[in-house]
Amino acid sequence: MTEAIDFLVRRDDFRTTRLHTPDPASLEISDGEALLRVDHFALTANNVTYAAAGDMLDYWRFFPAPEGWGRIPVWGFADVVASRAEGVAVGSRFYGYYPMSTHLRVQPTHVNAAGFIDGAEHRSPMAPAYNQYRDVAADPGYLADDEPSQMILQPLFTTAFLIDDALAESDFFGARRVVLSSASSKTAFGTAFQLARRDGIEVIGLTSPGNVAFVEGLGCYAQVVAYGDIARLDASQPTIYVDMAGNGSVRGAVHHHFGDQLVHSLTVGMTHWEHGKAEENLPGPEPTFFFAPTRVQKRIADWGGEGFQQRCGEAFAAFRKLTGKALRIVRGGRADLERVYLDMVDGRAPADEGHILSLHE
């Protein structure tokens, strides 16, 4: 095995990073374990949300790191390079939740043709959706020549699918208009894509002035408004707010503008992670946090695992066609990772770029 490398960030200062060489002994496998070589992974603003919510939602637990440091989870593909786990063959390729590292040691459990669950003790308290690894050989939605869109978009679209589904189940709380912040983010325009397919639902996107043209070009929003123009929106009808930005000032502006006509306020992301503080006792409904893994478990209970995968997979196949035209895939290696990561942290990454990185290059 070539030298292993981890990309670490300070848990108390996300802008401080370093490359770390772990003890080779930490990657030696025992009976029931396998070693995966992380081929490549996507890096999006959503990964910064994982860091921002790392203590609150325990995201740091997934991939242990030296004291004071963390390994931010990402979605990607890896190949099995060593295995002492029954049913997990060397050479198999798996899609799932990885650290920004060259390698990951796992303890496969519940192994079947579709994949396995990492049964490592430190991961057992975490949401099952994050511990599953899917064998590409058994994934009907896998496209070997389009791994980037799966890494960049599928995890975020799954959240979007679940938001739309949850709002529809509640009959949109009597509203027929949904306002989304951070409208250029992939989770937001995935949600807009789903909502726009429903009869009678108007979708409005809030974004920075520089992203207005890009968001309008997606074709998912009936109206696109810059953050400074929220007061121009019609406040006379019941409205739902889906907050992808986590910006306290924007949330406050939306709540004050719509007042009692705001029938539901859903907090999803933290793309504006440094501007999260909001005033208390806002007009309108108390913001509700949306945690996708909880909704996944509900729908798996309702539809079964295969039923959930089929519904979500069919919706993603349609969405994938749209975003293939909207995103430019940008590939990078070890020398690019810190720069791309800091662009995400500081909100400088262009909305139309999708970044795929590898620590092997």
Residue 352 falls inside a structural domain: yes
pTM given for the model = 0.86
**Mean pLDDT, to the nearest integer, of 339-350?**
91
Listed residues 293, 311, 338: the one ending a domain: 293
- Predicted confidence band at 58 (pLDDT cuts at 50, 70, 90)? confident
* Same domain as 269, residue 161: yes
Residue 201 falls inside a structural domain: yes
Give yes or no for residue 271 having a pLDDT over 60. no
* Same domain as 167, residue 38: no
* Same domain as 132, residue 25: yes
CB atoms within 10 A of CB 358: 18
Give yes or no for residue 250 having a pLDDT over 60. yes
Residue recorded with tokens 């800091």: 342
Q: What are phi and psi of 27, to 5 degrees?
A: -110, 5
* Same domain as 103, residue 16: yes
- Judge contact between 342 and 13, C-beta under 8 A: no
> What string of H, E and C letters represents the secondary structure of 98-142?
EECECEEEECEEEEECCEEEECCHHHCCCCHHHCEEEEHHHCCCC
Residue-number span of the structural domain to which 173 is assigned: 154-293
* Same domain as 108, residue 81: yes
* Same domain as 222, residue 250: yes
**Mean pLDDT, to the nearest integer, of 184-204?**
94
What are the pLDDT digits (tens) for 139-178? 888 999 999 999 999 999 999 999 999 999 999 999 999 9
* Same domain as 261, residue 218: yes
Residue 313 falls inside a structural domain: no
* Same domain as 337, residue 279: no
Residue 319 falls inside a structural domain: no
| Amino acid symbol at 71 | R
| Amino acid symbol at 136 | V
Strand 262-267 to strand 239-243: parallel, antiparallel, or no bridges (unpaired)?
A: parallel
Count of domains in the chain?
2
CATH number at residue 258: 3.40.50.720
Residue 266 falls inside a structural domain: yes
Give yes or no for residue 274 having a pLDDT over 60. no
Q: How high is the mean pLDDT of the chain?
A: 92
Residue partners of 313: CB distance under 8 A and separation at least 6? 140, 141
Residue 309 falls inside a structural domain: no
What are the pLDDT digits (tens) for 105-117? 999 999 999 999 9
* Same domain as 224, residue 116: no
CATH number at residue 112: 3.90.180
* Same domain as 180, residue 123: no
Residue 322 falls inside a structural domain: no
Residue 256 falls inside a structural domain: yes
> Helix, strand, or coil here: 145?
helix
* Same domain as 114, residue 13: yes
Listed residues 293, 308, 339: the one ending a domain: 293
Cα 223 → chain centroid: 24
Listed residues 245, 269, 293: the one ending a domain: 293
d(CA 151, CA 143): 11
- Judge contact between 242 and 182, C-beta under 8 A: no
d(CA 126, CA 106): 15
Give yes or no for residue 221 having a pLDDT over 60. yes
Q: Percent of the chain at pLDDT above 70? A: 96
* Same domain as 343, residue 244: no
Give yes or no for residue 275 having a pLDDT over 80. no
